[in-house]
Structure 1
């Protein structure tokens, strides 16, 4: 029997792939929540009016899985793993039972890192789970005139943008510990473009913030920092995530950050596989491991593990860290490494950026940044931002990175052009590659 702990994206995808590869294998999922696969930005989608209830952000249907002979147990939490006995302790409705397994897949996901200063407070909210999102929404729908968002990364700016759409009159403040918005996520060229849009939306941004304490009364909270105090009706924390590794602490070897140590098949022990947000993954262009809690990464690790468990042993996965996010009327696409990753390499990473036009009405502009290995001109990363919807660029960027194209190859790559369709004689990637080569001559 294959037992899967966690019914989010990695766990469900592993079950589906295992069933596709083996019609007879017994597969069981234990999920502590009462649903499968809640998309973590569901609250944002509701605030923007794209869904009518938070429940619409639940991706998987239990009945459909059961129709594929995948046994699903909701409200069932794993509290202990015994690798020697190949047993689990599962608690449901206060009752504990032992469950045996032949192969175990742990896909328990990630959690929002707790902040020491929030202990004992009642006005600090978060958004990751359905219960978190519902509690936050209930508060927002009440008498709230100001919100402080703790964190100016992707989670924070997407949330602030959605809040502005939900309540245009809301006073919104973003407090970020780094010196600029999105410092870990994107290059400063794109960060600056987003910051400008944010300020146009009348959102207050404070960077270089060290949080000291939170003091609150019945209706409001005061956040004390190195840059002074900020009074607000509500605080929503949006810091980075960390592995939800508690049940694995006594079962397998963990890295210093709580991520699981696994082989290339995501196998931690002979009969234990660990997936998704519990891992640090190799960033393909530079062969260095990073914590990258992305749904697409979770799904791909599940495919590899299922392939290996089923005896195929054909699939491998290294991430290009490809994703898309949108805030304040701009869509941002990124894939691969960036300049800040240079400290993990033995070579220099050069950067080239520019503003180009896209095909279509009024020729919308797009900010593009490429990151290039100096010695052999391999393109290691691409980022772009535009007021146009450039989300389809994500797969293109990923293929450029995974294909290890050089700047010379990209400069003359034959992107499609036809006058009857939205296209240009040269693609913006042709243009930035040519700019890189021209600028290199001047370096």
Structure 2
């Protein structure tokens, strides 16, 4: 009997992969919500008109899983884990029951960390869960004029862009605690390109903001900060995520940030696997562990655990932190490490950047940055931004980083050319590699 606690991306993928490997294993998923696998940025999709209902951001269907002989119990929350007896306590509505397992998979994801200043205020809206997004959407549909977004990382920037598209008349301000927007996400070259687009879209932002208190004031929310008092009709907090480790505290060894301590097969105990947003993962190619709550990471940790449980293969996963996001008409792609990771390694990271032509996309420009090992010239990371849809480059960037390609190899790598297709005799990655070698 395999019991899976959590029916989001890691939990469902683990169930599906185990079923492929073992047609007869008994598999049960317990999920506390009424749905399986809600995409956390579903609100952004709706605001941009990509979907018509938030429910379209739910990716998994209970009946489809049941057709594969995967038992699913929604609105079922795990209260306690007992590794000694190999049992879990599940609450379903007003009833509790004890479930025995042979293998336990814990995939209960992350939670949005509350700000000390907002405790009890009920003035700050969130976007991570379906319930959060529905509540936020209802408020946005009211007659509001000024909106503040707490957090200038990827989620905050994407949200600001979606809000501008949804309600062009909104006064939108981003408040960021770090000294720069996207401080931990992308290089300054990419940030500058995004900020230029934000300025053209009349998005205000303040950095170095420390929110000291949030109070209600005649229907509006008033924020007291280290840079003065700000008043808005609505405050939306971009996700500040941490592992949802509450039920694990007395059962499984946790790191200082609340992530679970596991082996390379994501085992925390002999029969317990912990997946997805509950973990810190090695960032390839530098192998230092970071907290990277990404859906693609959740899915791949599930693959590793499923193969180990089934005894079929020994798989290994290190994340390249490959990610795509879009804001203000730009598509941004990133993979691997950057210069901000130097404090975790013993060598320096060199950087080259430039603006090149995407010959296959009507000569659109692409802002590109490569990060290079100073001794070996291996490509440690690549980032790019363009008004063209460059999302397909994410997989290419990831392969280059994972394959530890050197700058010399990238300079002459044979990207295809054919006069009948949209291509060019040299690729922008050839060009930035050559520029790096001639600096």
TM-score (norm 1): 0.98
* Stretch deviating more after TM superposition (390-399 or 112-121): 112-121
Shift of 1:285: 0.5
Q: Is the contact made by 1:145 and 1:233 (CA closer than 8 Å) also made in structure 2?
A: yes
Q: Is the contact made by 1:153 and 1:239 (CA closer than 8 Å) also made in structure 2?
A: no
Inter-partner Cα distance in structure 1 for 2:138 and 2:375: 55
* 1:141-290 equivalences in 2 (<5 Å): 141-290=141-290
Q: Is the contact made by 2:338 and 2:371 (CA closer than 8 Å) also made in structure 1?
A: yes
Q: Is the contact made by 2:127 and 2:239 (CA closer than 8 Å) also made in structure 1?
A: no
* 1:4-403 equivalences in 2 (<5 Å): 4-360=4-360, 362-403=362-403
Per-residue deviation, residues 118-161 of structure 1 (Å, max 9, x unmatched): 11212210000000000000000112111100000001000010
Q: Residues 361 and 432 from structure 1, CA distance in 2 versus in 1: closer, same or farther, beyond 3 angstroms?
A: closer
Inter-partner Cα distance in structure 2 for 1:360 and 1:123: 47
Shift of 1:362: 4.2
Question: Where does residue 412 of structure 2 map in the other structure?
Answer: 412
4+ residue runs of structure 1 moved beyond 3 angstroms?
none
Shift of 1:378: 0.4
Inter-partner Cα distance in structure 1 for 2:361 and 2:252: 56
CA RMSD after TM alignment: 0.8
How many residue pairs get matched? 439
Q: Is the contact made by 2:88 and 2:100 (CA closer than 8 Å) also made in structure 1?
A: yes
Inter-partner Cα distance in structure 1 for 2:239 and 2:209: 13
Inter-partner Cα distance in structure 2 for 1:341 and 1:436: 20
Inter-partner Cα distance in structure 1 for 2:133 and 2:239: 15
- Unaligned 5+ segments in structure 2 are none
Inter-partner Cα distance in structure 1 for 2:244 and 2:361: 46
Inter-partner Cα distance in structure 1 for 2:414 and 2:344: 33
Q: Is the contact made by 2:90 and 2:97 (CA closer than 8 Å) also made in structure 1?
A: yes
Inter-partner Cα distance in structure 2 for 1:310 and 1:280: 24
- Unaligned 5+ segments in structure 1 are none
Q: Is the contact made by 2:360 and 2:424 (CA closer than 8 Å) also made in structure 1?
A: no
Aligned to 1:59, what secondary structure does the other structure show?
Answer: strand
Aligned to 2:370, what secondary structure does the other structure show?
Answer: strand
Q: Is the contact made by 1:297 and 1:319 (CA closer than 8 Å) also made in structure 2?
A: yes
Inter-partner Cα distance in structure 1 for 2:19 and 2:315: 17
